Structure 1
Amino acid sequence: PLWDAILADAAERFPDIVTTEVVAARRETLDTVSRWHPAKDVMQACLVQNDFNQRNVGFRETGEAVVLDWELARVNTPQRDVAELLTFTLDAHTEVEELLHLLAVHWQALADNGMDVDPGVYARAAAAEFRVQSLDRVGMQLIFGAAFDLPYLKRINRTVDHLVALTKE
C-alpha cells in the first residue's frame, strides 16, 4: 500500500515524469514482488551506505573511493549501493553491454574481496535491486521533489525504468 500510494501521489504531482506508462510498469513491479524480491534473500548481506550517489561518493586520483554521509547505512545486498549509483550516473540510453560490464566489475570486486557469489545469483539480485530502487529510493525522491527543486528527478526516473527493463528476465 505504501509504494502504491507514493506512486499515485507522484503521478498526480508530476504527470510529465510519472506518466501512465510509468505507473503501469511500476504497478507491474509491485504486483510481481513475490517473484523477483526473493533473489535478494539469496545474497550474502553486508553494510551498505544506502545513499550511494555522486552527492556522497567521490574518487581520488588513486581510484580510492571517499564515501560520506552514512546516516542511512543499513544491512542489505552489495548490489543496493550499485543500483543507486548507476541510477544516478547512467542514463536512459545506456546499452545493456555497458550495464553488464559495470555489474561484472562490481561482481569481480566482491570476488577479489572474498565474497564468493555465483554470477547468476548476483545478476538476479542486481535486477531485484533495480526494481526496489524504482519503487523505494526513486519513490522517495519523488516525494522530496514535492518540496524541493530536484533537477535530476526526471532523469533518474527514466534511468531506473530503463535499468529495470534491461534486467528483465
Structure 2
Amino acid sequence: MTEVFDALPIVGDPVSDEDRVVHLLANLPDSFDMLVTVLGTNEKVPKLETVTEWLLNEDVSGEGVLQFLQQSGRPTRPAEECLLTTGSKLLPVYTKSTVIWNWSVVDMLANAAKEFPEFWTTPAVTMISEAIDSADELWKTFDSFPKTLIHNDCNPQNICIRKATSDQGSNSDEDLRQICIYDWEMARIDVPQHDLAEFLAFVLPPACSMNKRMELIEYYIEMLEKYSKQKFNHQNFLKVYDAAALDFQLNKLNLYTMTHPFKDYKFLTRVVHSNSAYLLHRKSDGHIKFTT
C-alpha cells in the first residue's frame, strides 16, 4: 500500500500523511482491530512512521500491544489499559468528552447523520446522544446481570452451519446440523445480551415486527435458563438487552460507520436500520428512559 501512496504523486494525485494513515488502518485485517482501536483513541492522527513501527510488532493481542507501548516509552491512559487487558471497546468512546483524532463521540454521530442520513437518522442520533448522557445508568444496568464468557463479535460473518457426521446426532437432517462459531479473539467476560443484540441486529430485517423480536428474545431466555440451570427476571433481562443494543449502536456501528467510506460495508445500512427500529420502538413505548 505504501508503494501505491508513493506512486500517486507521479500521476498528480499526492496523498497526505494523515490520509495514508487512515487508509492504512482502515484496510488492516481483523486481527489488528485491537491496535487500530488504540491508535484511534489518540487525539491526533499518529505519524505514519509510528504506525508502521507498531504494525511490525509481532504480538497484536491486547496484552501484546500494551507491552509494546510500555516498552516503547509511549504513556498509556487508564482507558487504553482497560481496553487492552479486557478486550472492552466501551471505555474509549463512552463519554462525550472522549476524542478520537480530535472528534468527540457526539461529533462522530453528527458526522454520521450528515454523511449517511439514509441510515443514521435524526431520531437515532438523538437517542444515542441521550444514551451517552446517561452512560452511568447504562453501566449500572450492565452490573445488575450475571456475567459470562461472550463472543463479542457475534454475527453471521463469524458463524457457519455444517452437517455433523452420523455418529454425532440422530438420523434427521435438522439434528445433524451443527453450528460453528469462530474468531474468538474479541471474547470477554460480560453480559450475554451483548451477543444476542448484535446477532439479532444482523439477521433481522428493519421491518421485522416487535412481536417476532420479542419472541426470539424470549426463546433465548428460555434456552439460557435451560442450559445454565438458572432463572432470570425477564423484565430485567430486557432492560439489560436494551442497554446492550444501545452500546452496540454507539460503539460498533459508530466505528463501522467511520471506516465505511473505505471498506463499504454492505451490511451496515440494514443493520443500523434494524437495531435503530428496535430501540426507537422500545423508547416510544416507554421501556427505554434516559436520565441526565
Task: Indicate whether 1:77 and 2:179 are aligned.
Answer: no
Offset of 1:156 from its aligned partner? 1.0
The 3 A distance-change label for structure 1 pair 9 and 65 is same
Q: Which residue of structure 2 aligns with residue 155 of structure 1?
A: 270
Offset of 1:94 from its aligned partner? 1.4
Which segment drifts farther, 97-106 or 58-67?
58-67
Q: What CA distance in whole angstroms lies between the structure 1 residues aligned with 2:282 and 2:147?
A: 21
CA contact (8 A) 1:45 1:75 kept: yes
Letter in 1 for 2:237: Y
Task: Indicate whether 1:43 and 2:158 are aligned.
Answer: no
Q: Which residue of structure 2 aligns with residue 91 of structure 1?
A: 205
Give the alignment's TM-score, normalised by structure 1: 0.89
Q: Which residue of structure 2 aligns with residue 134 of structure 1?
A: 249
Task: Indicate whether 1:32 and 2:146 are aligned.
Answer: no
Offset of 1:157 from its aligned partner? 1.1
The 3 A distance-change label for structure 1 pair 59 and 105 is farther
**CA offset digits 1:21-65 (Å, max 9, x no partner):** 332222122223334442221110011111111111123443532
Q: What CA distance in whole angstroms lies between the structure 1 residues aligned with 2:134 and 2:203?
A: 27
Q: What CA distance in whole angstroms lies between the structure 1 residues aligned with 2:123 and 2:234?
A: 31
Give the alignment's TM-score, normalised by structure 2: 0.54
Which ranges in structure 1 are unaligned for 5 or more consecutive residues?
Answer: none
Q: Pick from 119, 123, 144: which aligns with 2:234? A: 119
Offset of 1:159 from its aligned partner? 0.9
The structure with the largest alpha-carbon Rg is 2
Which ranges in structure 2 are unaligned for 5 or more consecutive residues?
Answer: 1-95, 99-104, 163-173, 288-292
Q: What CA distance in whole angstroms lies between the structure 2 residues aligned with 1:133 and 1:77?
A: 13
Offset of 1:124 from its aligned partner? 0.8
Instruction: Name which structure has the greater RCO, CA cutoff 8 Å, separation 6+.
Output: 1
CA contact (8 A) 2:124 2:280 kept: no
Q: What CA distance in whole angstroms lies between the structure 1 residues aligned with 2:121 and 2:218?
A: 32
Which segment drifts farther, 144-153 or 122-131?
144-153
SS in 1 for 2:156: coil
Q: What CA distance in whole angstroms lies between the structure 2 residues aligned with 1:46 and 1:65?
A: 20
CA contact (8 A) 1:57 1:67 kept: yes
Q: Percent identity?
A: 24
Q: Which residue of structure 2 aligns with residue 16 of structure 1?
A: 118
**CA offset digits 1:113-141 (Å, max 9, x no partner):** 12332112111111111111110111121
CA contact (8 A) 1:13 1:146 kept: no
Q: Pick from 101, 119, 134: which aligns with 2:215? A: 101
Q: Pick from 32, 49, 65: which aligns with 2:179? A: 65
The 3 A distance-change label for structure 1 pair 123 and 20 is closer
CA contact (8 A) 1:51 1:72 kept: yes
How well do the aligned residues superpose, as a CA RMSD in angstroms?
A: 1.9
CA contact (8 A) 2:113 2:125 kept: yes
CA contact (8 A) 2:161 2:180 kept: yes
Q: What CA distance in whole angstroms lies between the structure 2 residues aligned with 1:116 and 1:59?
A: 29
Q: What CA distance in whole angstroms lies between the structure 2 residues aligned with 1:80 and 1:39?
A: 13
